[in-house]
Structures are given as C-alpha cells and as structure tokens.
Structure 1
C-alpha cells in the first residue's frame, strides 16, 4: 500500500468514528458507489457521465484536468481559496461540498494544519501526491443529505455546483449546509451564472440555448442572482454577496486567456444537455463553438461570478 492509500484508509477509519478525538468529528457512513455510463452521443462528444444523478457535466479525465486548471485560475483571480473572514485559531473542521479532484481540500488542509478538512463528491479522485494527514474524502450525493451530524463544521464551502443542483433542490441543499455548520461558523458559496457582458452573436445564441435547456431540465442559472436573499432567508448573519466581473480572452491578458480556455473546455460538456432538450445537432454545435472562440479573441467579453458568505 503506498502513502496516499494509507492516508485515505486512515481518513476513512476516522470518518466512521475510529480514532476520532475532536467533538465535532462525528461518525458517518460512506455512500454506495454511483453507477457510471459512457455517453452514447457521437464519437467526438463521447464523454463519461454519471447516471442516476443530477450532475450535468462529465466525470472523466478530461473534466478532471479542466477542474484542476479552473482551480488554479480561480485562486489567481481571488488571490485566495476563500473570502469569508475566517479566524484560523477558531477553525477546526472544514467541509468542501462537491470537492471534485480535491485540490481545494488539499490546499486548505495545508493552510489550516490544525483543522480536519473533509471533501464529499459523487465521485472524487485526488491528485497523484501524498495527502496531508488532516484530509478526509468520502463519496455521496449531497442532494440526498449530508452524512454529518448537526453543527459539525466551522466552515462549509461549495463551489460551482449550479449544474448539479436542480432549482427545486436548492432550498434543501442550503438547509443542509446550514444544519452541519456550527454556531458562529461560516458558509461560503462561489458560483458562475449565465451573464456575459459584450457577448457576440454566437455566444448570445449559446446562452439562449443553455437557458432554455436548463429550464426544460429543471435547472435555473438565474438563481445565482438570488443567493444573497437565500442566505438571509436561512437566518444567517453578516451575509455578503459579491459579483466579480472578469475578462474573457486576450484583452484580459493572462487572466482572460485562462478563462477563455476554461470556458471553451466547459461548453463541449453541455452538448448532451442541448441535444436532449433542444435537439441541437453536432454540426450546428461545432459551428457555434468555433464562432464563440473567435468572438472571444477579438471582443472585450466579461463573465460574472458570484460569491456569497454568511455566518450562522
């Protein structure tokens, strides 16, 4: 057994209550493995998706590489891995909901060596490196409830899960985030909506496709604009919502080029959604994507992210 496997094994033992010493490290049970299916679309879009889940984007090596790239881009934009005003001396337990490849979890574990940092996802895979001793991962569907006791975490983080949360399930998810947060703890969400400034014709068409397909499938990209109100409805204190307008394309220099690459790697993963809901064919989709990339090269496009945090 190598070092990483040893760390994971020890983390899993602690998650079920073995060797737990902190009062908020509660016993939990791992969720069963999610069934997987290979996309049956045309070969160029043959990506791996999870079935029997609400997550719309792929879960494969291509997507894992994109998520890692996205993590480093967002850290560059935010100049941090979080914006909530955390007191390091008071943070002993951290949860990342939808942890993906685990990059954020690992970096937070190193930044908060005194804390236990947990990541949960439908399917997680860690980078090929030795895990910090204070990291723990588990597999589960957060929309079925978080497998933690009330008041477990000092800080709960969730990032870019809009394409995995149907509109009708947002209230339940937010209640779950609040439930597992300790009194005085912080909840922080980082999301991207569907707002582009100075979008060209092709990008505007794609956005319209996306909005229509999401609506038919039961998703609401516009919910990002209401995150602040949703947080306040939970009774959270010190709620703050920030809208970040970031450049897309060469006009934004390194930052803009990075976001352009990330978006152009994200959009192909939405093809099955558009094909199923709107009957968009491969040829039409390819033409629009090529034109979007061209527009981003020559226009001063901006994209909007949303950050909201509040204290329980």
Structure 2
C-alpha cells in the first residue's frame, strides 16, 4: 500500500474493529503505527494511509470474508490446521487478513510483506511476522519456502509491466504442492447509473495515466497458467449489488466505496479529471451518487484465482 517516495508523519494509535455484516460481529484490536503520506507528484494516484483508508481496508477484509464465507478459496485449510505450515501475504497492508488467520491456525507461521510498514510491530500473535520490502520486486525469500502465498487487492498499485514478475515470484517461493491465490475485483460493473459511470470512467482514465491497466485483472489467470509450475488455474467468483438494493452487504460496500472516493487524494485527481471543482465533486459523491444508488442496482464481482504448484524441475 502507499507510495515510498512520499514524506511521512507517524503517530501511534489503537484501532478497534467491530464490523457487523448480517448480524455477525467480529472484534479485533491491534496497535499499529499509522503513516500519513503526502502525494508529491501530480500524476501519482496512490491512496495515503490515513485512518479512514486503513479502516476501509479492515472493513473490506470482513466484507470479502463474508462474501466468500471463508478467508481463502485454495483447498489448504486441513493442512493449516494439522501441519506446521508457512503462509505469506504479498502486499499485506495493515495485516488484517494475517491477524485473522494467525489467531485461528496456531500451528501455522504467517509472514506479511509490504513496502509501507503500517502493520503492527509489537502487539501481534507469536506466529506472525512482518517484513518491510518491495512487494513488486524480487521477494526476499528462498525458493519453495511457503505452503500458501496470497495477494489481496493491489490492483490500483501494480503497474501493467509488473504483473508477470509479481506472479512468477509468488510461484517461485511456493513449495511444490502448495498454493498461490490472488483476490481481484472484476473490472466490469453492470447496471450502473450515469453518476457512478462518470466516476468509474474517471477512475479508469486516471489509472491508465499512472501506467495501471485495470483490464489486466481479467488476464491474471493466463499469466498464472503461462508458468510451467501452475498450468491449471481455478476461479472462485462472488457477485454483489452496491447500495441499499443490495441489502446489508450492499450498504457495507457502499460505505467502503464512499470512504475511498471521499479521500482527499482521490478527490483531487478525479475532480480534475471530471472538470469540476472539489466542492462539486463532494456533492456528486455524497449526494448525487447516494441518491442514485437508491434507484439502481450496480452489480460487482470479486474473483479469487488460485493454483496448485507442481514440480516440473
């Protein structure tokens, strides 16, 4: 998450997660060091790690867990329960996914890697460790090290020419017989209204300007299959409707969406892209879009691509 070329101010804070989806409550308390990033270049479109954005990452974890009814789709749970496995998350952010799993699978050791150290350094389970390193470069681990390697939603950070290296590195550090898994949103949103369509198109154009092609997400299975060690790729896809017409989970996603698009960095870039003032942008997001979502049912999808590594050596 974030941008390494930015200056930062650090502040310790304690965050309590108490997210309710469909009357199910999950509590998680961690102490973390929050890094506030200032965007230095006009063409940079990464989200700063403010309280609001990090809380949104936490909420999205519980959202996707509820949507899939589990934390992963790879068939590795029995191994995590019984064996002393090693699991890596590439681009772990604040470490929500890892913290959730580390408390459940006590026999497994978990690692998280991220270039921006917003993960908890002290208050964490004993079977969890974090490594500060560039998640888009050569991973600082030997070959065949992990039983399970996972990557969450980094689609607005990874540039088009980085995907092949990232996936090949994930496969390299996975043991034969182990699994890799990537969580990605579907690039197509169906049944959108005119306000949401404008926002989506502005977002896509801004990403393209930053060297990020969101259409690549639909091709990730082809990149995985092109590696001789992962010739078969499975896909687990779940759909949902954003807004009140999507029920409780639709409201949760609407809140996540509004949190992201109300961010100052996003507001700055998208208002400029749309040719409107920041005040007009705020009205579009917080009034026009919310009203539109009462009368439309925009349909989204989340996809998990997963593959088992075979030994071709």
* TM superposition score normalised by structure 1: 0.79
Q: How does 1:212-231 map to 2 (within 5 A)?
A: 212-231=205-224
Kept in 2: contact 1:122–1:141 (CA 8 A): yes
Q: How does 1:15-54 map to 2 (within 5 A)?
A: 34=4, 36-37=6-7, 48-49=37-38
Corresponding residue SS for 1:289 = helix
Aligned 1:4-83 pairs, distance under 5 A: 34=4, 36-37=6-7, 48-49=37-38, 56-83=46-73
Find 1:286's aligned residue among 277, 282, 285: 282
Matched, 1:274 2:267: no
Contact 1:213 1:278 in 2 (8 A): no
| Structure 1 position 305, deviation (Å) | 1.4
Higher normalized helix content (fraction of residues)? 1
**Counterpart of 2:297?**
300
Structure 1 gaps of 5+ residues are 1-32, 40-46
Distance in 2, Cα, partners of 1:178 & 1:51:
34
Partner in structure 1 of residue 173 of structure 2: 180
Q: Distance in 2 between matches of 1:205 and 1:165?
A: 23
2:168 and 2:268 map into 1 onto residues whose CA distance is: 30
1:87-166, aligned counterparts within 5 Å? 87-88=79-80, 89-90=82-83, 92-126=85-119, 130-166=123-159
Q: Partner residue of 2:250?
A: 256
Relative to structure 1, is the Cα distance of residues 300 and 278 closer, same or farther in structure 2, using a 3 angstrom cutoff?
closer
Partners in 2 of 1:101 and 1:268 — Cα distance? 20
Whether the 8 Å CA contact 2:137–2:165 is kept in 1: the answer is no
241-250 vs 178-187, which moves further: 241-250
Which moves more between the two structures, 266-275 or 228-237? 266-275
CA distance in 1, matches of 2:105, 2:45: 30
User: Partner of 1:176: helix, strand, or coil?
Assistant: helix
Q: What SS does the aligned partner of 1:120 have?
A: strand
RMSD of aligned alpha carbons:
2.7
Residues of 2 paired with 1:125 and 1:216: CA distance? 27
Contact 1:50-1:59 within 8 A present in 2 as well: no
Cα 1:132–1:167 shift into 2, 3 Å: same
Verify the 8 A CA contact 1:64 1:101 in the aligned structure 2: yes
The answer to whether the 8 Å contact 2:171/2:180 transfers is yes
> How far did residue 124 of structure 1 move?
3.2
SS of residue in 2 equivalent to 1:105: helix
Following superposition, the deviation at residue 170 of structure 1 comes to: 0.8
Alignment gaps of 5+ in structure 2: 10-35
Q: Compared with structure 1, are the counterparts of its residues 217 and 275 closer, same or farther at alpha carbon in structure 2 (3 Å cutoff)?
A: farther
CA gap of 1:280–1:222, structure 2 versus 1, over 3 A, is farther
CA distance 1:169–1:160, change in 2 (3 Å) = same
Q: Would the aligned equivalents of 1:84 and 1:309 in 2 still touch at CA under 8 Å?
A: yes
**Distance in 1 separating the partners of 2:54 and 2:189:** 25
* Cα deviation, residue 126, structure 1: 4.0
Q: Distance in 1 between matches of 2:60 and 2:193?
A: 23
Between 105-114 and 280-289, the greater mean CA deviation after superposition: 280-289
What is the TM-score of this pair, normalised by structure 2?
Answer: 0.79
